[in-house]
């Protein structure tokens, strides 16, 4: 499978490129960056820590989509929405690991997915997606007598909060309970908040240092508490998961999928 990367010069972009190069059945065909990037014209192989490949980092996303069977996108929401439209026109599969997508962004992805295959997930790791499944099951089993809180911590450079993975956990718990996540979620607390509303799904966000990603979902009841936790110690697991998703997407019809589909956990 021919795979391209948008936003290829960032920390995650470089890891994605390295993961493609290390994967049997995958071929790295190019990458793009923003016009102000100092890496335009640099060799993508060198940037990924490998040998020179003769693949210059460029600006033309439309050209890259025309060359690739699948594109990996871990950029920002506005860029991802634009890339989804290009993917729909080109018929190129798109794997989206961008976080901070809002309801309108997801609607745009769903529209593009009517014409091409899109895999979107706030986290591409196997462990996290297992945790998401468990969160739904536990929420369904315990019922409304248990309060649900989601706690996450990331490095100090992360620009969105709560993290996409934290929201995945909270939404899975809401689905398990059969409630509307938007109606019951409490994304932050400050000042005199009053008593905790029954049925709320709360979030707490920590930022600092170089933490790759730590997520816990807590079910707190009378006299007992259940905590499910995932800690990432190697950012490369997100990259390898994204490449796995791209290889899987090549055999799927148009539609909007998640890593749970890729991993057979749906």
Same domain, 257 and 219: no
Which residues constitute the domain of residue 89?
2-120+235-262
Q: Which two tokens stand for residue 156?
A: 């100090």
**Number of domains present in the structure of the chain:** 2
111/61 same-domain check: yes
- Distances, alpha carbon 202 to alpha carbons 63, 86, 99, 182, 249, in Å: 43, 36, 19, 11, 34
pLDDT score for 227: 98
Find, among 10, 106, 128, 23, the residue nearest to 70 by Cα: 23
**pLDDT under 50: residue ranges of the chain:** none
Ordered DSSP codes for 201-247: EEEEEEE-TT--EEEEEEEEETTEEEEEEEEE--THHHHHHHHHHHH
Tell me: do 228 and 239 sit in the same domain: no
Chain centroid offset of residue 198 CA: 30
- Residue 198 belongs to domain with CATH number: 3.30.360.10
The Cα 4–Cα 31 span in angstroms is 6
Give the pLDDT confidence of 134-164 residue by residue, as tens digits. 999 999 999 899 999 999 999 999 988 999 8
CATH (domain of 37): 3.40.50.720
Q: What's the gap between Cα 70 and its chain centre?
A: 16
Question: Is the same domain home to 240 and 116?
Answer: yes
What pLDDT shows up at residue 170?
Answer: 97
Do 113 and 239 belong to one domain?
yes
Both 103 and 200 in a single domain? no
Pairing mode, if any, of strands 213-221 and 224-232?
antiparallel
Give the predicted TM-score (pTM) of the model.
0.80
Place of tokens 């499910």: 228
Residue-level pLDDT at 175: 96
Is 106 in the same domain as 11?
A: yes
**Residue positions annotated with a catalytic role:** 154, 158
Give the residue from 48, 53, 9 showing the smallest Cα distance to 32: 9
Residues 100-123: b if buried by 16+ CB within 10 A, e if exposed: bbeeebeebbeebbeebbbbbbbb
Is 31 in the same domain as 133?
Answer: no
Token readout for 19 is 């993961």
- Cα separation, 74 vs 119, whole angstroms: 12
């Amino acid at each position: 499978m021919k795979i391209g990367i948008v936003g290829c010069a960032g920390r995650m972009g470089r890891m994605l490129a390295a993961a493609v190069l290390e994967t049997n059945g995958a071929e790295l065909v190019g990458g793009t960056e923003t016009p102000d990037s100092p890496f335009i014209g640099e060799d993508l192989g060198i940037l990924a820590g490998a040998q020179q490949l003769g693949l210059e980092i460029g600006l033309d996303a439309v050209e890259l989509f025309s060359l690739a069977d699948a594109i990996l996108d871990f950029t920002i929401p506005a860029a991802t929405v634009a890339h989804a439209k290009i993917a729909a026109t080109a018929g190129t599969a798109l794997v989206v690991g961008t976080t901070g997508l809002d309801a309108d962004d997801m609607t745009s992805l769903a529209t593009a997915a009517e014409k091409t295959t899109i895999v979107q997930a706030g986290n591409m790791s196997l462990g996290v997606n297992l945790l998401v499944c468990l969160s739904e099951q536990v929420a369904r089993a315990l019922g409304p007598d248990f309060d649900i809180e989601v706690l996450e911590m990331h490095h100090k450079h992360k620009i969105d909060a709560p993290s996409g993975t934290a929201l995945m956990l909270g939404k899975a718990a809401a689905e398990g309970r059969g409630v509307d996540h938007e109606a019951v979620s409490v994304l932050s607390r400050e000042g005199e908040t009053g008593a905790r509303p029954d049925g709320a799904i709360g979030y707490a966000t920590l930022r600092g240092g170089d933490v790759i990603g730590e997520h816990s979902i807590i079910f707190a009841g009378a006299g007992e508490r259940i905590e499910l936790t995932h800690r990432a110690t190697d950012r490369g697991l997100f990259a390898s998961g994204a490449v796995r998703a791209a290889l899987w997407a090549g055999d799927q019809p148009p539609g909007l999928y998640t890593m749970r589909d890729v991993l057979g956990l749906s």
